[in-house]
Structure 1
């Protein structure tokens, strides 16, 4: 595998609306990000991905872009963005923008022109299709519920939107539209961004015949993912995007990809793949229910472990994936992947050790480094997220009580990750001096950056140690480029693996997700403790490693050992 500059980095996602508010209007902003660059540098962050900050009506929190060349005034100005770029560069931090090019906002100039002339040039920037049999062109259900087709006023046409009706899909069969997108991408790269996180990109390929599929729900519709999975040829579009927009600037790209065909992994992230990397969503897929959040089951540790191991083994001869336990579209990892008894600082450190030391590019999400958790809401009115409101409605229609529907949202809502960053135990968690746009998690008085910075045994300090360990020159070959080799797979409560370098160096990572102590028989060699979440173990020794090579791991214990030659 050809080595790239980003392989050795640590990335961090900022959801700007909830990160840090500098002017007291209750909304995070660019100035707020600038204020926290030193914090990110000290944490060990090298790449910052910022969720959309473009001009937008915010129907879907900025993923509905009305002008790709403007900064939303809620976040600041283009001058402030340029300042952010400059200040980040001073700290050797690269900025990655969010790129939303499957769809735009219905307020975008292109779509407004299309509505004004539904048979004209700009209508072909989108999918304006005639209805069939007195109804919509096909029976697809959108990602946010309801039909993907919306009538074009005053015509017999419908326009396509795989997401909200305010997010019309762009027509990637139109060369002129594509070139306008490519020019926009090059404009941002000229400005100095390092690359892009690419939103929902697998959806850009459509079957122009829009065939119906068998209904898979009581609404008589079929999920739009069926069409996405069935259609061929998305790779040609992605190669054109790479060659015309990304390659001239050697841009770093990380893609959000669902519904990819298994055999396409090498095409996507292999040598000269469509993207530098893409997020590993294999664990997240375990959180879904058959019909929605209301019938989703808690993630079992055994299933999570098996899924992560399979993903690691599948990709390691192909390329690098971006490893996550949470992002702006998922509930908090600490509340999702840990058993209830482990949702505490020790358990959260354990989860961190496993995640950061897997093979791949670690992506932290704001607040993950202090162990932020899901936020209980009192009613559906407390939520802002369009998807959450749709899932609540779906649960009620399926016969759930309001309490049951709300409980599903408390467990799975995207707003769990969007509550304001908890900077201190001061009012509104130090996020704002005004009223925050979304409720602050009431646990901020016990979980916040300021307090954890003062506590050497905090989750935050453990993350710093993990990141520093991964970057150490002495272990770089092993922890960054080394192979992933699972160990103790048969033990139902243990997640353990080796990272092995080509020269034979081995580092062993073990975590006990069970309630009881575990005894693991290791090869009889000498070991050095590189890191542990057990503060009772003196540095450089491991009191629980017995003479016969038996490692004793307490419940929620995690340890990183270097195997001596």
Structure 2
């Protein structure tokens, strides 16, 4: 069996991890939906890219009311993707190529098709596994409290018998009651189930949400503690999970959206989660001062607990980097998403190339969302093809997240850009998608794919040493790490001189004729 590239015990501290959204990665059977057969056929591509691990968005049995984040059975693969036996083969085949596997667990909620919730609807004792309450008002006609869904609208839906159940996301995603021991036991069993099948780690969706104030009070702005975000009870849950992960040398990465850096760091204590996603950096505008502040704050909040930082530019929930960086507002906020926002794709692509080199040079792990290595822009989805519940819960004003979930283009000469040749893909591919296809970019070292491949290959020159900022003009980020490796990114309006160096290792774009670094360009140097 091949050895993973990061063969040391703590491989995850500096790994390059690739997010696979199975439904849109590669269609192995031609039915229009990506599947595990498709992923298995592309493992050589992922090995050539140079990634250390694959993180799979949920591949479990699901009605797909929220892209698979509504799980009906954690021990079964959704038939549209394949079978459990195929998943086991995929895990093993990836490991033969030196690539580990990370699966996604969604502890806050399950699907309304989950056996537990179906039994709860029938009036069984399983109701105790959810937050089911009588309503307010003379006849229970109003929700039990004023909480709102993350997708918009109330967080409560009334059952036929008059009671209400809580769902912080879509009505098809009832929240679990983590105060019940059966909920804790089931998830510990699920972790063991997947670790036994060879996965190297688990990504924890909405990791700060599962625990709720048992009184379910109304939300009061500024009141501490929050009734359902970042409650202290969570840490006991994750400590029990950590003991299981340690039995298998497994790794956790938490999806933790928290503005308080001290509270954030608590999840990364040595007996809890290994890593957590760095959303402040991902949503930061393309601005030198703000990026430097974000980097400094990220490294500072991780240092006291000895956890590595994670860096990510995009994921399955976020407007693609090329599009976002080409807009007037280059940050990201769910509340500002709107149809028809103009973007300059040439500018966004130039910045995305520079951002890739910046991110890959920072100390810690780097996550690539599928298609970022191809420079894919956000796709405009016809309104009658949108599936994301975020769009519908907003009353149709939010374009939703389907624009970053469009199937990948593999071949410029095949139907549907080589994603699948028989049936139209589940989301339509834009007309120009073939121009981004892997076969076209693989032949061009100057393409986005060529840049990513080369950067991942060269990245070890930065070693595991901390970052040291170098003196640089306003609007320019420059830092050094181990062995004299230097990264310089120019976000200023004018070209800048390169610091003294012996070798230009890699550039995100051409230098000026006189050898200076242009605006929105990054280089790696050997000092």
Same fold (TM > 0.5): yes
2:150 is equivalent to residue 143 of structure 1: yes
2:278 is equivalent to residue 280 of structure 1: yes
Residue in 2 that maps onto 1:12: 18
TM superposition shift of 1:154: 1.2
Unaligned residue ranges in structure 2 (runs of 5+): 1-7, 328-343
Aligned with 1:187: secondary structure? helix
Match of 2:34 among 28, 33, 45: 28
Residue in 1 that maps onto 2:478: 496
Q: Pairwise CA RMSD of aligned residues?
A: 2.6
TM superposition shift of 1:145: 1.1
TM superposition shift of 1:116: 1.0
TM superposition shift of 1:51: 0.8
Q: Matched residues in 2 for 1:526 and 1:455: separation?
A: 27
- 1:365-380, aligned counterparts within 5 Å? 365-377=369-381, 379-380=382-383
- 1:223-238, aligned counterparts within 5 Å? 227-229=227-229, 231-238=231-238
2:424 is equivalent to residue 442 of structure 1: no
2:406 is equivalent to residue 419 of structure 1: yes
Note the alpha carbon deviations across 1:268-300, whole angstroms, 9 max, x for none. 224x241111110003445xxxxxxxxxxx765
TM superposition shift of 1:480: 4.1
Q: Matched residues in 2 for 1:123 and 1:417: separation?
A: 36
Match of 2:359 among 332, 355, 358: 355
TM superposition shift of 1:448: 1.6
Q: Matched residues in 1 for 2:276 and 2:472: separation?
A: 26
Residue in 2 that maps onto 1:239: 239
Residue in 1 that maps onto 2:465: 482
Task: Verify the 8 A CA contact 2:407 2:425 in the aligned structure 1.
Answer: yes
Q: Matched residues in 1 for 2:112 and 2:174: separation?
A: 6
Q: Matched residues in 2 for 1:414 and 1:447: separation?
A: 20
Alpha carbons of 1:121 and 1:260: their partners in 2 closer, same or farther (altered >3 Å)?
A: farther
TM superposition shift of 1:556: 2.8
Residue in 1 that maps onto 2:392: 389
Aligned with 2:280: secondary structure? coil
Q: Which moved more, 1:161-170 or 1:128-137?
A: 128-137
Note the alpha carbon deviations across 1:315-335, whole angstroms, 9 max, x for none. 345321221100111110122
**TM value normalised by structure 1:** 0.82
TM superposition shift of 1:20: 0.3
Residue in 2 that maps onto 1:121: 125
- 1:147-546, aligned counterparts within 5 Å? 147-155=154-162, 157-214=163-220, 227-229=227-229, 231-243=231-243, 245-259=244-258, 261-270=260-269, 272-286=270-284, 302-316=289-303, 318-338=306-326, 340=344, 343=347, 346-377=350-381, 379-391=382-394, 393=396, 395=397, 409=399, 413-426=400-413, 427-433=415-421, 434-471=423-460, 475=461, 479-488=462-471, 491-492=474-475, 494-499=476-481, 501=482, 505-519=483-497, 522=499, 526-535=501-510, 544=515
Unaligned residue ranges in structure 1 (runs of 5+): 217-221, 287-297, 396-407, 545-551
TM superposition shift of 1:533: 2.9
Task: Verify the 8 A CA contact 2:278 2:311 in the aligned structure 1.
Answer: yes
Q: Matched residues in 2 for 1:487 and 1:386: separation?
A: 46
Note the alpha carbon deviations across 1:373-425, whole angstroms, 9 max, x for none. 11123x422322111333453x4xxxxxxxxxxxx63xxx4212200111122
- 1:36-185, aligned counterparts within 5 Å? 36-117=42-123, 120-133=124-137, 134=140, 135-155=142-162, 157-185=163-191
Task: Verify the 8 A CA contact 1:242 1:275 in the aligned structure 2.
Answer: yes
Aligned with 2:227: secondary structure? helix
Q: Matched residues in 2 for 1:201 and 1:44: separation?
A: 29
TM superposition shift of 1:63: 0.5
Task: Verify the 8 A CA contact 2:324 2:348 in the aligned structure 1.
Answer: no
Alpha carbons of 1:165 and 1:496: their partners in 2 closer, same or farther (altered >3 Å)?
A: same
Residue in 2 that maps onto 1:399: none
Task: Verify the 8 A CA contact 2:24 2:33 in the aligned structure 1.
Answer: yes
TM superposition shift of 1:260: 6.3
Task: Verify the 8 A CA contact 2:322 2:349 in the aligned structure 1.
Answer: no
Q: Matched residues in 1 for 2:391 and 2:484: separation?
A: 44
2:508 is equivalent to residue 560 of structure 1: no
TM superposition shift of 1:226: 5.0
Alpha carbons of 1:489 and 1:62: their partners in 2 closer, same or farther (altered >3 Å)?
A: farther
Q: Matched residues in 2 for 1:519 and 1:36: separation?
A: 41
TM superposition shift of 1:123: 1.0
Q: Matched residues in 2 for 1:8 and 1:285: separation?
A: 21
Task: Verify the 8 A CA contact 1:229 1:261 in the aligned structure 2.
Answer: no
Q: Which moved more, 1:76-85 or 1:130-139?
A: 130-139
Task: Verify the 8 A CA contact 1:488 1:496 in the aligned structure 2.
Answer: yes
